[in-house]
């Protein structure tokens, strides 16, 4: 029997970029239509957006914002709506695309009631006393996964780096191929993501879309995709050390809205009426508002052999070049803050091979929302030693579309065949995210956790299989990782 899709949070991205996937799923017979749940405050905007959509929702429901301090979605409101839709349309599957602060309640309801779910990244941001509390992530993820394993419902997470033509099919594949060919671990990994997001102080105070005032910031807004990339690279080390116990330690420093007035040139912040030298006095603590920038160093340590394997850095910064020229957020514009992203990644296999990826946005002149990405992959290798390698190679890709990756993910989930980005797969990603968020609350102090434990629980079938293998059976191990560790060809 066909299921009915319920979209919780009908935002710009779904309306402009993912509706084709939903329409095709209806035509292909995977779902029998869709309905929308959103806030009363968004009703007028949604009605305008729907005028440009080919396939209209069968039902629309608008609800109030929850008044509970630690919740932004009230089960008493949406459970009744879910029941009505089920009674009218039959079994449902839920796409959770609301603002992050509402994710947890909807996802928990879906897991507890064995309803298929697809959650926009990040999965959730636990709230305590009205503020983001990263220490609660691990407990909540364990609870959700323990329940999810008891039913056949499928739970997935949208993340750019699961079906991506560049990150997955080009970059991770190239490194994985060399790890297997040369029996060489990943020894160095560096990733810098520059978001190019320019918020004003007033926007930090007032915005509900991508807010900072609830204690979460860059990590929960733009960094998740790239934490996912880092995770997939680090997991490649199990190709060489399948039986070993690995431990991840990281240490971070962060910049916050309270720092912004000193960090952005007053020559230009004044043009936006945003020179606010006393603004930071309003915040009792530096971390009342979420971070704008975070820089982290880390090591992946082999506890079994008492040796360091991978050293690296992660940098997720929004205070980087933007295309913003306007004082106030413009109406009917998706790129409200002039975002122009740039990612720079370097992965190295000791003295043998290194790969560098630079992927950055190229805005069209005069079109704030028309942005394409350009990617360049460069490799260097010890060519005299390694047969078939060249000292230097370069590949370039124009008009890269990041949305294609998520459209494929969404289409697979609607068809009931999504397996590369399950909720369970993201357990270890969320643990790294938690560790990063905790580390900027203690600048410079190390945060350590058992990487192997979370790799195991992100897919127990994989690790139980790996534990029975020896390092000499790497090709067989790689086939297991192909299926379960999300490194795809």
Backbone angles phi, psi at 284, to 5 degrees: -70, -40
Q: What is the CATH number of the domain that holds 247?
A: 3.30.360.10
Q: Is residue 201 part of a domain?
A: yes
- Does residue 395 share a domain with residue 250? yes
Strand partners, 395: 377
Q: Is residue 292 domain-resident?
A: yes
Q: Quick check: is 489 in a domain?
A: no
Could you give the angle at which helices 224-235 and 427-439 cross, rounded to 10 degrees? Answer: 120
Asked if 356 and 346 count as a contact pair (C-beta separation under 8 A), the reply is yes
In a domain, 270, yes or no: yes
Closest among 359, 389, 364 to 374, alpha carbons compared = 359
Counting the structural domains of the chain, the total is 2
Reported as a single tens digit per residue, the pLDDT across 420-430 is: 999 999 999 99
Is residue 459 included in any domain, yes or no?
yes
| Encoded tokens for 427 | 């357990």
pLDDT at 464: 38
CB atoms closer than 10 angstroms to residue 460: 13
Whether the per-residue pLDDT at 486 is higher than 70: the answer is no
- Residue 453 structural domain: 161-401+421-484
Other CB atoms closer than 10 Å to residue 49's CB: what's the count? 18
Report the distance separating Cα 347 and Cα 237, nearest Å. Answer: 12
pLDDT at residue number 284:
61
Return the residue matching tokens 């968020």.
437
We report the CATH number of the domain holding residue 49 as 3.40.50.720
Locate all alpha helices (DSSP H) within 273-379, ordered by sequence.
none
Q: Does residue 275 share a domain with residue 171?
A: yes
The total number of residues shown for the chain amounts to: 489
| Same domain for 464 and 350 | yes
Would you say residue 282 lies in a domain? yes
Between 209 and 95, the higher pLDDT residue? 95
E strands, 404-460, are: 447-450
- 193 and 58 together in one domain: no
User: Is residue 110 domain-shared with residue 191, that is, in the same domain?
Assistant: no
Q: Is residue 115 scored above 70 in pLDDT?
A: yes
Closest CA to 432 of 154, 290, 255, 229: 229
- Cα separation of the two ends of the chain: 32
Per-residue pLDDT at 481 exceeds 70 = no
Going by their DSSP bridges, the two strands 3-8 and 92-96 should be labelled as parallel
416 assigned to some structural domain: no
CB atoms within 10 A of CB 142: 12
Of 153, 169, 200, which residue is a domain's last? 153
**Residue 414 included in any domain:** no
pLDDT of res. 380: 98
115 and 202 belong to one structural domain: no
Q: How many whole angstroms from its chain centre is CA 426?
A: 10
Q: Among 385, 25, 420, which Cα is nearest to 181's?
A: 385
Residue at which a domain ends, from 131, 153, 175 = 153
Residue 477 near residue 239 (C-beta atoms within 8 A): yes
- Per-residue pLDDT at 244 exceeds 70: yes
Within this chain, do residues 120 and 249 fall inside the same structural domain, yes or no? Answer: no
Point out the domain boundary residue: 121, 153, 185.
153
In terms of Cα–Cα distance, which of 41, 35, 42 is closest to 56?
35
Closest to 211 in 3D by CA, of 121, 99, 43: 99
Mean of pLDDT values over 159-182: 95
């Amino acid at each position: 029997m066909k299921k009915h899709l319920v979209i919780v949070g009908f935002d710009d991205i779904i309306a402009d970029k993912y509706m084709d996937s939903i329409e095709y799923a209806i035509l292909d017979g995977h779902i029998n239509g869709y309905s929308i749940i959103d806030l009363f405050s968004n009703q007028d905007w949604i009605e305008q957006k729907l005028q440009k959509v080919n396939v209209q929702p069968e039902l629309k429901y608008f609800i109030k914002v929850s008044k509970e301090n630690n919740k932004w979605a009230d089960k008493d409101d949406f459970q009744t709506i879910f029941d009505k839709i089920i009674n009218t349309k039959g079994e449902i599957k839920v796409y959770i695309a609301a603002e992050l602060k509402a994710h947890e309640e909807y996802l928990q309801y879906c897991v507890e009631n064995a309803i298929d779910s697809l959650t926009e990244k990040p999965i959730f941001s636990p709230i305590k006393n009205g503020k983001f509390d990263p220490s609660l992530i691990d407990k909540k993820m364990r609870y959700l996964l323990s329940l999810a394993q008891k039913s056949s419902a499928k739970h997935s997470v949208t993340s750019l780096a699961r079906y991506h033509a560049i990150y997955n099919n080009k970059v991770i594949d190239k490194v994985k191929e060399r790890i297997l060919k040369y029996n060489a671990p990943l020894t160095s990994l560096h990733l810098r993501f520059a978001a190019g997001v320019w918020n004003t102080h007033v926007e930090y105070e007032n915005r509900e879309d991508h807010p900072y005032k609830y204690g979460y910031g860059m990590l929960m807004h733009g960094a998740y995709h790239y934490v996912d990339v880092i995770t997939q690279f680090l997991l490649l080390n199990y190709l060489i050390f399948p039986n070993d116990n690995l431990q991840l330690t990281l240490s971070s420093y962060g910049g916050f809205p309270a720092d912004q007035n000193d960090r952005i040139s007053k020559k230009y912040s004044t043009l936006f009426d945003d020179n606010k030298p006393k603004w930071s006095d309003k915040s009792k603590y530096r971390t009342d508002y979420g971070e704008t920038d975070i820089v982290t160093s880390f090591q992946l340590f082999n506890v079994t052999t008492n040796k360091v394997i991978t050293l690296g850095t992660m940098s997720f910064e929004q205070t980087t070049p933007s295309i913003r020229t306007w004082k106030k957020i413009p109406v009917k514009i998706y790129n409200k803050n002039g975002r122009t992203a740039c990612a720079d990644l370097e992965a190295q296999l000791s003295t043998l091979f290194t790969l560098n990826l630079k992927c950055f946005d190229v805005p069209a002149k005069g079109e704030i929302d028309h942005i394409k990405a350009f990617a360049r992959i460069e490799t260097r290798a010890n060519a005299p030693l390694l047969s078939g390698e060249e000292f230097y190679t370069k590949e370039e890709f124009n008009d890269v579309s990041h949305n294609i990756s998520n459209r494929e993910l969404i289409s697979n989930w609607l068809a009931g065949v999504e397996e590369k980005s399950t909720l369970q797969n993201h357990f270890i990603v969320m643990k790294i995210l938690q560790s990063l968020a905790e580390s900027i609350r203690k600048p410079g102090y190390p945060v350590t956790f058992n990487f192997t434990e979370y790799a195991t629980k992100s897919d127990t079938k994989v690790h139980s299989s790996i534990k029975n293998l020896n390092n000499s059976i790497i090709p067989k191990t790689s086939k297991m990782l192909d299926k379960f560790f999300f490194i795809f060809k």
